Structure 1
């Protein structure tokens, strides 16, 4: 019989390889005869006691998760506040875990998820409940502290670099009689990692992208437009990559969508590319096209990075190992040991060094003029998009992805009133 139970939940925006981590978690747990319950729609599944019995899934389905995008069990944007402010929710969470004999808690997400896992570990200790909590890294924003990079970022970075290179060829072909400026919007609220990845699309002063706008640098419209005009005059066209989170010198988001705040307290962003395109058209009278890839950046499993996939699998396997070793309040972090040749390993990192901290682009990664990446950034980024990890394709020409049964576990507690 399996010994006790492991609980796994996915958090926040999904990635092209988050299910690969889930696959590794379940596979490793099965090898150690540990039952895995998953939260339906992330942490809400635990609070609502909507738990999924992964043992009902065949081996082939769990294996196929590794090449399936999305979040197989559902995810959510739901932030638990401090232990003092949200204590009833934390206690409800502990009650559910106790009712189902959960001794290992794995939360696959970003900064806020690391914070939640850390707080759950503290509450369990307060109630003397034997629970080991592990944060599992995931985010396309690449903004987690301690870890060299985040599973999910490498594939989104590869999609971004490939898309910008291909679009640039299109613009170059039409620039004489048509589009002069193309604006590509990349994800990144406070950290410009994905925008920087676009810089891999070309190398040299005349290679696209010609201008990159980072959230780490204040947006100056006059300077930006003057540079656009200079590039068009010199090259014949200009490809711009803008992070969604760019701000003016007074701290205002250029692309504040006016949609209020999300559940994490973040300003709803959107439309920086369309805004910039409008300013170029109005002030420079140049024909402009723009694109907002949005979810495509994080769901593009068809063009996933092999490095990213390998790391997503590695952190899932290590998370189970750390949990069973009793390494409480820990995250498996990716540690780079060499740039050339690129080498990395997994090591445990304490959650209190990761929770609610944000890793932005180092100053040395942004070109001195503020509109491109440096050689140091290229050396860091390039290995992360290396290698192809294509999913299998069917005769219909489309990838063959898996959809799980997600069989529910019988509830044992009264309904949650939260």
Structure 2
């Protein structure tokens, strides 16, 4: 009487599935455990280029909202500050920002050479505002991943002025607060200090983007995953995550091979900031202050170097 246990979700659920699989194996229970990589965060360690179920639909809905917001920014001459979901990685914010050609995208992976602080997040957006002014554009939009909050120290969280409650995994319950409003308030305060006349508005990309009607890609993908689970089950597979490649071929990814040997948890898949794709977005889509802009930037701030994109991130 072999039974099947299917777990569905992101990295925390995958880690739980991994512990279940190990327990069942140790007790020799005849139960197969197969995990489905379902999360709009796209942060499960599938082979490169393979999204998690739900990500493409959420990105599509986020881009629809993001494009409308950008049109509003252009016609009203304002700036908008968007916050996108993504607790452990910035895939969603990056994907939406890339699709909408936002002049500033802020994700936790960008801070690979420096500590994430509230001041640096704010200065990245200010950098874009200054650069756009130099370019003759008084409008724009920035999208920030909520994941930056997870990397902030307790002191930095206190600086943000928000008091979080925490879930059973010890993560701040970000869904209970508007990250866009927090970021927007902090940016407005900085703009006032600099005496820059810029109006900004917050937009929270929240739960609605994970509850929309799936796009055709995810409808097909979900069917392939469901059928694939049965295939793996009939083959006697267990303790694994299902993987369906671009040709529809099904194979198992064993959780024991993905886990951190010390914690037993499945580490999240991060945005690859060393990829040509990421470099292309930084070089061709983002607008931010560089050394070539210092002289022109002095018309807006006395210390342009403080808002140099690469210096903020400590990139060479």
> TM-score scaled by structure 1?
0.56
1:260 alignment counterpart: 165
1:333 aligns with 2:231: no
Aligned length: 257
- Corresponding residue for 2:311? none
Counterpart of 1:224 in structure 2 is 125
Deviations 1:247-268 (A, max 9, x none): 5997545868422321122123
Question: Which structure exhibits the higher relative contact order, with contacts defined as CA atoms closer than 8 Å and separated by 6 or more residues?
Answer: 2
Task: Write the distance in 2 (CA, Å) between the matches of 1:372 and 1:325.
Answer: 48
Match runs of 1:213-292 below 5 Å: 213-218=106-111, 220=120, 221-233=122-134, 234-246=136-148, 251=153, 252=156, 257-269=162-174, 270-282=177-189, 283=191, 284-292=196-204
Partner-residue secondary structure (3-state), 2:185: helix
Structure-2 separation of matches of 1:145 and 1:255: 31
Q: 1:9-408 counterparts in 2 under 5 A?
A: 103-147=3-47, 148-175=50-77, 180-202=78-100, 208-218=101-111, 220=120, 221-233=122-134, 234-246=136-148, 251=153, 252=156, 257-269=162-174, 270-282=177-189, 283=191, 284-301=196-213, 304-336=214-246, 345-355=249-259, 356-363=266-273, 364=275, 365-367=277-279
Q: 1 or 2, which has the higher helix percentage?
A: 2
Give the C-alpha shift of residue 368 in structure 1. 7.5
Structure 2 residue runs of 5 or longer lacking an equivalent are 260-265, 287-316
Q: CA offsets, 1:76-113, max 9 Å, x none? A: xxxxxxxxxxxxxxxxxxxxxxxxxx611111112222
Structure 1 residue 131: Cα displacement: 1.2
Distance between the aligned counterparts of 1:133 and 1:307, measured in 2?
Answer: 26
CA RMSD of the aligned region, Å? 2.8
In structure 2, what is the Cα distance between the partners aligned to 1:199 and 1:330? 33
Give CA-to-partner distance per residue, 1:32-54, whole Å, 9 cap, x none. Answer: xxxxxxxxxxxxxxxxxxxxxxx
- C-alpha change, 1:191 and 1:371, in structure 2 (3 Å) is farther
Contact 1:137 1:315 in 2 (8 A): no
Partner of 1:205: none
Structure 1 residues 250 and 297: CA distance shift in structure 2, 3 A: closer
- Give per-residue Cα distances to partners, 1:9-49, cap 9 Å, x unaligned: xxxxxxxxxxxxxxxxxxxxxxxxxxxxxxxxxxxxxxxxx
Return closer, same or farther for 1:358/1:372 CA change in 2, 3 Å cut-off.
Answer: farther
What is residue 11 of structure 1 aligned with on the other side?
Answer: none
Cα-to-partner distance string for 1:331-368 (whole Å, 9 max, x where unaligned): 111334xxxxxx55432111123452110000124338
Structure 2 CA distance for partners of 1:262 and 1:280, relative to 1, 3 Å: same
Is the 2:4–2:33 Cα contact (8 Å) retained in structure 1? Answer: yes
CA distance in 2, matches of 1:223, 1:296: 27
Q: CA deviation at 1:371?
A: 8.7
C-alpha separation between the residues in 2 aligned to 1:223 and 1:184? Answer: 14
Please report the TM-score for the alignment, with normalisation by the length of structure 2. Answer: 0.72
Q: Distance in 1 between matches of 2:150 and 2:127?
A: 17
Structure 1: 5+ residue stretches without partners = 5-101, 203-207, 337-342, 375-418
Q: Secondary structure at the match of 2:238?
A: coil
Cα drift, residue 315 of structure 1 = 1.0
